[in-house]
Amino acid sequence: MGFFDRLSRLLRANLNDLVSKAEDPSKILDQSVADMQSDLVKLRQAVATAIASQKRLQNQAEQADSQSKSWLNKAELALKENREDLAREALSRRKTYQDTATALNAQLNSQAGQVETLKKSLTALEGKIAEAKTKKDMLKARSQAAQAQEQLQSAVSGLGTNNAMAAFEQMEEKVLQQEARSQAAAELAGADLESQFAALEGTDVDDELAALKTRLEGGANPIALPVENGPVPQLEPVKVAEVDAELEELKRSIDKL
């Protein structure tokens, strides 16, 4: 393959690509209908011209036929007057007009066929144009809808790499982190609150323990048990050492609470 052939093919391919990209369906549809409308006007003019020609041929044929009849009448008149020479001349003229009328009638028949064909073509073109006008609006609407859908798909597909979308996702992650920190702080605050209440409860136990120690160490009144029919014996004060075991047992029971 020669260099110029390849260059020519490359240029045609690029030009076709540019034309294809530049084609707007709406504009092309409008232009196509306008072209068809222009063809319709030309065809109507052609039909009108053909019909006018047909009428002219018809008038010429009728005139030739009328002249043919008129010279026939003149030939008859000349014979009646014993003017055979005039009759022969009249018949000669009649023959000329008669031949002309015959030729014109044959041309008129041919013209009538052409006019009929043109009328049918005109009717068919009018129908196609009417159909094209109806489809044009529908196709333009479909083209606009397809372009809108294509733009939407392009916008959606470009969201993944869009800076605005990336910033949005980053802020969403930041909000999630803030919520996590807030939840953790709430849990820690709740734990601290529970420890404070536990401390308060522990204080009550310590106070009770201190009171018990004071009572045991401070010489509380001896506890006496009644005895029937006899004097009530006095109990000696209980020493602290004697209750150590009981105190330890009480502490262990309190720790288990």
The per-residue DSSP string of 12-72 comes to HHHHHHHHHHH--HHHHHHHHHHHHHHHHHHHHHHHHHHHHHHHHHHHHHHHHHHHHHHHH
Q: What pLDDT is attached to residue 175? A: 83
| Tokens describing residue 81 | 């007057």
- pTM comes to 0.45
Q: What is the pLDDT of residues 169-222, one digit of tens each?
A: 778 888 888 888 888 777 776 666 666 666 666 556 667 777 777 878 765 454
Mean pLDDT computed over 101-107: 90
For residue 225, what pLDDT band results from cuts at 50, 70 and 90?
Answer: very low
Q: What pLDDT is attached to residue 145? A: 79
**pLDDT at residue 99 greater than cutoff 80:** yes
| Tokens describing residue 119 | 């009328």
**pLDDT at residue 93 greater than cutoff 50:** yes
Mean pLDDT computed over 139-160: 71
Q: Taking a C-beta distance cutoff of 8 angstroms, is the pair 95, 67 a contact?
A: no
**pLDDT at residue 11 greater than cutoff 50:** yes
Q: Taking a C-beta distance cutoff of 8 angstroms, is the pair 78, 86 a contact?
A: yes
* Average pLDDT across the chain, whole number: 76
Q: What pLDDT is attached to residue 220? A: 47
Q: What pLDDT is attached to residue 63? A: 93
Q: Half-sphere exposure of 220 toward its Cβ, with a 13 Å CA cutoff? A: 12
Q: What is the pLDDT of residues 40-78, one digit of tens each?
A: 888 889 889 889 988 999 999 999 999 999 999 998 998
Q: How far is the C-alpha of 123 from the C-alpha of 44, rounded, in Å?
A: 10
